[in-house]
Amino acid sequence: MRARPATVGLILYLLLLLLPIYWMVNMSLRTNADILTSFQLVPTDPTFANYLKIFTDASWYSGYVNSIIYVTMNTVISLTVALPAAYAFSRYRFLGDKHLFFWLLTNRMAPPAVFLLPFFQLYQTIGLIDTHIAVALAHCLFNVPLAVWVLEGFMSGVPREIDETAYLDGYSFPRFFFTVFMPLIKTGIGVTAFFCFMFSWVELLMARTLTTTNAKPIAAVMTRTVSATGLDWGLLAAAGVLTIVPGALVIWFVRNYMAKGFALGRV
C-alpha cells in the first residue's frame, strides 16, 4: 500500500522539526573536542559528563531552580488576577470596557525593551532587584493581558443562566465562582496556564536584566559557556536539552486541555 503524498510530506516536516532537537541531544553526549574535530550522526563514545557538570555545579542547577520559581510564581499571579478580570469583561458592560480590553492587549503587543528601564529603576528603588518576585511581576505585564484575553473567550461561552440559577439557589459569589464556574472553564484555565508558563520560561531580556546573582535564570547562566577558547558546545547543548524538559512536562500534563482549548475560546 503506497503512502499518500500528504503523509510523506507530514513525516518529512516532523523530521525537520525534530532534527535540531536530535542534534542538540547528540552534541550533549559528546565532548567539546569531539564535536569540533569530527562529524557524527550518532555518538560513537557517548558521555554524560556535560550533564554531570550541570547537576554538580551550584551555579548551573540554581539557574534552573530560579527559573522554575519565578515562572511558577508568575503563572499563579497571572491566573489569580486574570480570572476575576476576565469574568468582569465577559459578564458586565461598563463605560470604556472595549477600550480597556484593547489597552490590555497593547501591553502584550509592546516589546519588553520598552518597559525594561522603568522596571529596573522602580525595582532598584524599592529593593526588588535580583529577586524572584521582581521577574514574576515584570512578566505579569505581558501574561495577564494574554490570560484575560484567552479566559474571556471561554467564559463568554458559558451561559449566563448558570450564574442566575446559582444566585437563586443561594450561592455567594466566591462559592459560585470556585465550585461551579471554574470547573466549567477548567479547559481554558489549563490552556492559559500553559501559555503563561511558556512565555515566562522563554523570556530572557527582563529576566537577565532584573537579576544579578541570587535569582539568575538558566538562560543567563548558559552564557557562562563562552570563554577565551570559544564555546563549550557540549555543555551548552546539555543545558539546552534540560531547558526543554520543563516545557515538555507542562505540555504533557495539559495536553488534554490544549486539544479542546485550541478549538474553543480565543486561542
Tell me, what CATH number does 200's domain have?
Answer: 1.10.3720.10
Mean pLDDT score, 53-71:
85
Q: So what's the pLDDT on residue 3?
A: 58
**Contact, 156 vs 188, CB < 8 A?**
no
Is 109 a residue whose pLDDT tops 90?
A: no
Average pLDDT, stretch 163-183? 89
Alpha helices in 3-131 (DSSP H): 5-28, 32-37, 49-56, 58-91, 97-109, 112-126
Tell me, yes or no, whether 14 lies in a domain: no
pLDDT bin (cut points 50, 70, 90) of residue 244 is confident
Considering its fold, how many domains does the chain have in total?
1
* Rounded Cα distance, 261 and 267, in Å: 7
Provide the pLDDT confidence category of residue 257 given band limits of 50, 70 and 90: low
Is residue 12 in a domain? no
Given this model, what pLDDT does residue 236 score?
85
Does position 259 have pLDDT exceeding 80, yes or no? no
**Residue 41, in any domain of the structure:** no
With a cut of 80, say whether residue 147 has pLDDT above it.
yes
Q: Of 81-90, 107-116, 247-256, which range is least confident?
A: 247-256
Q: Is residue 193 part of a domain?
A: yes
| 39 occurs within a structural domain | no
Q: What is the mean pLDDT of residues 185-205?
A: 87
- State which of 74-83, 125-134, 256-265 shows the largest mean pLDDT: 74-83
Tell me the residue range of the domain where 231 lies. 51-264
Phi-psi region for residue 170, left (φ > 0), alpha (ψ -120 to 50) or beta?
A: left
Question: Given this model, what pLDDT does residue 2 score?
Answer: 58
Q: What is the pLDDT of residue 213?
A: 80
Whether the pLDDT of residue 267 is over 80: the answer is no
- The fraction of the chain above a pLDDT of 70, given in percent, is 91
* Residue 196 parent element (H or E): helix 186-202
Assigned domain for 23 exists: no
pTM (2 d.p.)? 0.82
Mean pLDDT of 167-173: 87
Q: What is the pLDDT, as a whole number, of residue 58? A: 77
User: What pLDDT does residue 77 have?
Assistant: 95
Does a structural domain hold residue 243?
yes
Residue 14 CA to residue 19 CA, distance in Å, equals 8
Instruction: Round the average pLDDT of the chain to a whole number and report it.
Output: 84
Q: Is residue 36 part of a domain?
A: no
